Amino acid sequence: DSGVTQTPKHLITATGQRVTLRCSPRSGDLSVYWYQQSLDQGLQFLIQYYNGEERAKGNILERFSAQQFPDLHSELNLSSLELGDSALYFCASSTGQGKAFFGQGTRLTVV
Amino acid sequence: GIQVEQSPPDLILQEGANSTLRCNFSDSVNNLQWFHQNPWGQLINLFYIPSGTKQNGRLSATTVATERYSLLYISSSQTTDSGVYFCAVDTGRRALTFGSGTRLQVQP
């Protein structure tokens, strides 16, 4: 158990819909990262939050957004979903040194 | 951006065999980490290894930062070692850039 909790584990939704993925980092970690793993793009960094503030952005689509709340949990919002958004979405948190611990992921299927 | 290349892409071993996985990266990095993704999709951090050598049971890793490569050694492989092994680097902003992975299958 990495200590990073993600919900839900699985999500099936229709094109055009909006979903919210949730992540709780390890106790004491201030940083939360979101990654997407798809068959064609591999594992890609989407966005990072540190103590409630956006810290870095990667290959995140404009239809996607995230936030980190005062209790440090984070949510990734995916809207106007397309078939190509089907993927495994991971949340990670890191130690001060940067060692990353990943949650179990949310498998999103868009039909 | 930085390029991370892993080899080989696929590897099939008999149980008990040893193997070496390689990760090359194209620029200086702050740290390098190895992960194992098991058949259920879970990503497990095996090593945080910006330089030098570390060992954890049957696994060990070596990073030579000046030559921009890292090696992951698996000895006496077991079927539970099957899965995909990823190398990931941090260039200073803490977000990780992943290689495309080595898919390992250990046969009984």
Residue A97 is nearest to which of B48, B86, B96, comparing CB atoms?
B48
Residue A77 contacts by C-beta under 8 Å, 6 or more apart in sequence?
A18, A19, A20, A21, A64, A65, A66, A67
- Answer yes or no: is pLDDT of A89 > 80: yes
Distance (Å) of CA B87 to CA A3, A42, A44, B32: 21, 12, 13, 7
CB contact under 8 A, A33 and B94: yes
In this prediction, residue B16 has a pLDDT band, given cuts at 50, 70 and 90, of very high
Q: What is the mean pLDDT of chain A?
A: 95
Alpha helices in A36-110 (DSSP H): none
pLDDT of residue A27: 95
Q: Give CA B78 to chain center in angstroms.
A: 16
pLDDT of residue B46: 98
- Answer yes or no: is pLDDT of A96 > 90: no
Residue A98 is nearest to which of B31, B43, B100, comparing CB atoms?
B31
The two three-digit tokens of residue B12, written as one number = 């099939």
Chain B residues with CB under 8 Å of A45 CB are 95-97
Report the distance separating Cα A29 and Cα B40, nearest Å.
25
Q: Which helix (H) or strand (E) holds B20?
A: strand B19-25
- Answer yes or no: is pLDDT of B92 > 90: no
- Lowest average pLDDT, out of A32-41, B4-13, B46-55, B58-67, goes to A32-41
Average pLDDT over residues A62-73: 97
Chain length of chain A: 111
- Answer yes or no: is pLDDT of A50 > 80: yes
Average pLDDT over residues A9-19: 98
pLDDT of residue B93: 74
- Answer yes or no: is pLDDT of A41 > 90: no
Q: Which helix (H) or strand (E) holds A35?
A: strand A31-38
pLDDT of residue B94: 75
Distance from CA of A57 to the nearest CA of B (A): 9
CB A42 within 8 A of CB B9: no
Average pLDDT over residues A86-93: 97
Average pLDDT over residues A78-105: 95
Q: What is the mean pLDDT of chain B?
A: 96
pLDDT of residue A39: 85
